[in-house]
Amino acid sequence: EPGDVVITDVGETVDEVGKPVAWLGNKRVAIHDHCYAFRHSLNPKFVSYCMQTTSFVAQKAKYVARTKVNTLLINGFAKLSIPIPYPNDNEKSLEEQARIVAILDKFETIIS
């Protein structure tokens, strides 16, 4: 669905497992059977950025089965948390998420 964050459930390394991609299109799409769709009411790019932070990756690593192909254990993944600005004020929270996304979208340009 538009706004979902698509998450891989397998990868060669722990860091690759659970890699997020925000679906910013306006149509429904099919995803691979080794992916999950995280459906939420947040800014999808904000969620995707949060899922790439060092702290989130460290949390996620606890729920990766390390076998020949590393696999995300979705029941454990469901226990992970994303820090939400202004959790009791949805409108203010979405505004702050958009502000953070705008900064992160320009980050490489800013540091160059």
Q: Band of the pLDDT at 67, cuts 50, 70, 90?
A: confident
For the segment 48-62, the average pLDDT, to the nearest whole number, is 94
pLDDT at position 89: 96
Note whether 81 and 63 are within 8 A (CB): no
Element (H or E) spanning 88, and its range? none
pLDDT at position 68: 86
**Tokens, residue 101:** 């996304």
pLDDT at position 84: 95
pLDDT at position 34: 92
The rounded percent of the chain whose pLDDT value lies above 70 is 100
Mean pLDDT of the residues in the chain: 93
The rounded percent of the chain whose pLDDT value lies above 90 is 82
